[in-house]
Amino acid sequence: GKKLGYTFNHRNLHNISLGQGQEAVAEQALDLAAKEGHWVILQNIHLVAKWLGCLEKKLEQLSEGSHQDFRVFVSAEPAPCPESHIIPQGILENSIKITSEAPTGMHANLHKALDNFSQDTLEMCSQEKEFRSILFALCYFHAVVAERRKFGAQGWNRSYPFSTGDLTISASVLYNYLEASSKVPYDDLRYLVGEIMYGGHITDDWDRRLCRTYLEEFIKPEMLEGEICLAPGFPLPGNMDYDGYHQYIDDALPPESPYLYGLHPNAEIGFLTQRSEQLLRTVLELQPRDSGTGQGALGTQEEMVQALLEEMLGKLTDEFNMAELLAKVEERTPYAVVALQECERMNALTAEIRRSLAELELGLKGELTMTSDMETLYHSLFLDAVPESWVRRSYPSTASLGSWFADLLARISELEAWTRDFSLPSTLWLGGFFNPQSILTAVMQTAARKNKWPLDKMTLQCDVTKKSREDFASAPREGAYVHGLFMEGARWDAQAGTITDARLKELTPAMPVVFIKAIPDDKQDARGLYPCPVYKTRQRGPTYVWTFNLKTKENPSKWVLAGVALLLQT
């Protein structure tokens, strides 16, 4: 304060945390501070969105005639998306803005994690060797889980607000447990850290498994014998002082790469590709929408949209005649029910596509007034994006409009072939269903009825064949063959019949046909199997479908850390 020409003490400071009905208190503090030359700190203004307009007006009023020492400081959490930017423009334009950026990369994150402690921390526990080793492993664990989010859905299915508070509380728990016990309670520590301290943030079961697996790899009895590598080429250090640990990070930590997180290098390629596509799409959306495309090009935007619209209407087939299909079904088997449900959902989607395109066509001809919905559809067609009204009736997809529509026609073709006589196709395109769970459940229901097994005590057995779709002429006598699966994070070795490391730049290699068969729970041998989640798209998370148990010669934890999953779309 003195360097800036202020006389300042704690009585000149009004520190107010907003979000609990403190708005009136804040206004009184601002009035007093403006008169007396005090400082006001308003914390968490993002929690009082409705009051921010009043704050903007208040600051504008106080900007003239106030004491020369009067200052206002405001803080807010970063907005998760552009739609959540709620701080008024007037406040932003008239302020000096400072942001606190989180460190990037394992090197910076590991140093920052260790910065939460000191030499005194390392010396405070009676079991000093055990405490230091586990504390360093916790710091590495914290850095990994915080930085892994940059890999998108392959890193974490959902984003979690892990903080340094989780690390410092875990360190306190570690100290208390080691002081209370002569033996290191590894299981208790892993549970408290993985299921409560960090696990308390986690809402997805597969993310919980990932968190648990990291701790099982990092915190175990072998760590005290120096037999643990936190990452390839980065062994857990021995007993060092505080500065020694920082120096060890600088000297021994390998260069930044997905290997430090247990991921394959392809994970970085996929993440950067998606980020680039998102950036380019945003740039495209910023282009002016009312200009022509230039001489010699395809014509104006309107002509392009009109041509696309006519092409799509021409290719779109008639809706399924549900009355005819119902009359054709002799027995409503689980498979027939699934086929009928899929036809109904396809009808709802194609009806909306046909209706909206026909409406837009009339609007472009001037026979109907253009509505906001028609404008939105128009711009979606021009930007090669799937229109919102179609998405609501559709299946999850990350494809552009052209690819999405081609995929839609392929799905219709598959359904037409299946509903000719309702006999099960030789191989099922699992990704071609609105609801893939329904066909997998139908496999279990059919086996349950045939063998009189209780449905709730059954599971699916997955045998990966060495053949492709074209090699199958008929469906199996029990179960089903499914195709259209892709593996992310690893690949399937057809000759060895196991999961193996992915090849560089092969992000989502195709799987051979998989034979799905229902068996009782107690007949499933879990040894040498990796429980692999199946998702509809690379967004993972809410697109989860099922769990396929795949054979592996390596420890399944390797594939957990690598984020290995099966996808129905690439």
Q: What is the pLDDT of residues 57-97, one digit of tens each?
A: 989 888 888 888 899 999 888 776 777 788 888 888 888 88
Residue that the structure tokens 């919102």 belong to? 388
Beta-sheet strand order (sheet of 458-464): 428-429, 480-483, 514-520, 458-464
Structure tokens at 233: 């080429």
pLDDT of residue 369: 84
pLDDT bin (cut points 50, 70, 90) of residue 290 is low
Average pLDDT over residues 119-124: 92
pLDDT of residue 292: 45
Would you put residue 152 in left (φ > 0), alpha (ψ -120 to 50) or beta? left
Average pLDDT over residues 489-499: 94
pLDDT of residue 289: 57
pLDDT bin (cut points 50, 70, 90) of residue 322 is very high
Q: Which of 308, 381, 386 is nearest to 349 (CA)?
A: 386
The SS3 of residue 45 is helix
Average pLDDT over residues 228-247: 92
| 356 pLDDT more than 70 | yes
Structure tokens at 419: 């509903």
pLDDT digits (tens, 9 = 90+) for 263-274: 999 999 888 888
287 contacts 133 by C-beta, under 8 angstroms:
no
pTM of structure:
0.82
Average pLDDT over residues 7-16: 68
Q: What's the angle, vertex CA 306, arms to CA 303 and CA 308, rounded to 5?
A: 110
Three-state helix/strand/coil letters over 270-283: HHHHHHHHHHHHHH
| Residues 297, 286: Cα–Cα separation, whole Å | 20
User: Residue 197 class from Cβ within 10 Å (0-12 exposed, 13-18 middle, 19+ buried)?
Assistant: buried
Whole-number percent of the chain with pLDDT over 70 = 96
Phi/psi at 72 (5° precision): -125, 130
| 298 pLDDT more than 50 | no
Average pLDDT over residues 134-151: 94
| 8 pLDDT more than 90 | no
The SS3 of residue 109 is helix
C-alpha 232: how far from chain center? 26
| Residues 69, 63: Cα–Cα separation, whole Å | 12
The amino acid that residue 445 corresponds to is Q
DSSP E strand boundaries for 210-252: 229-231, 234-235
Structure tokens at 76: 């807010």
Alpha-carbon Rg for the chain in angstroms:
30
Residue that the structure tokens 């380019």 belong to? 280
pLDDT bin (cut points 50, 70, 90) of residue 216 is very high
| 529 pLDDT more than 90 | yes
DSSP E strand boundaries for 455-507: 458-464, 480-483, 486-488, 491-493, 498-500
Structure tokens at 184: 């290191």
Q: Which of 469, 101, 488 is nearest to 266 (CA)?
A: 488
C-alpha 516: how far from chain center? 27
| 198 pLDDT more than 70 | yes
Question: Where do the domains of the chain lie, and which CATH numbers do they carry?
Answer: 2-94 (3.40.50.300), 106-265 (1.10.8.720), 299-423 (1.20.1270.280), 424-569 (3.10.490.20)
Q: Which of 165, 231, 172 is nearest to 198 (CA)?
A: 165
pLDDT of residue 303: 85
Average pLDDT over residues 44-55: 86
Structure tokens at 531: 């429980």
Helices 164-180 and 128-147: crossing angle in degrees, nearest 10, is 160
Structure tokens at 428: 């099922």
pLDDT of residue 294: 47
| Cβ count near 51 (within 10 Å) | 18
- Look at 521 and 516; give whichever has higher pLDDT: 516
pLDDT digits (tens, 9 = 90+) for 16-41: 888 777 888 888 889 998 898 899 99
pLDDT of residue 297: 44
pLDDT of residue 11: 66
| Residues 201, 203: Cα–Cα separation, whole Å | 7
pLDDT of residue 248: 95
- Look at 8 and 142; give whichever has higher pLDDT: 142
Structure tokens at 270: 């996929």
pLDDT of residue 15: 86
Residue that the structure tokens 């179960």 belong to? 479
| Residues 532, 466: Cα–Cα separation, whole Å | 19
| Residues 48, 21: Cα–Cα separation, whole Å | 9
Among the residues of 366-465, which ranges form H helices?
Answer: 372-382, 388-391, 401-418, 436-451
What is the pLDDT of the chain when averaged over all its residues? 89
| 537 pLDDT more than 90 | yes
| 412 pLDDT more than 70 | yes
Average pLDDT over residues 342-361: 94
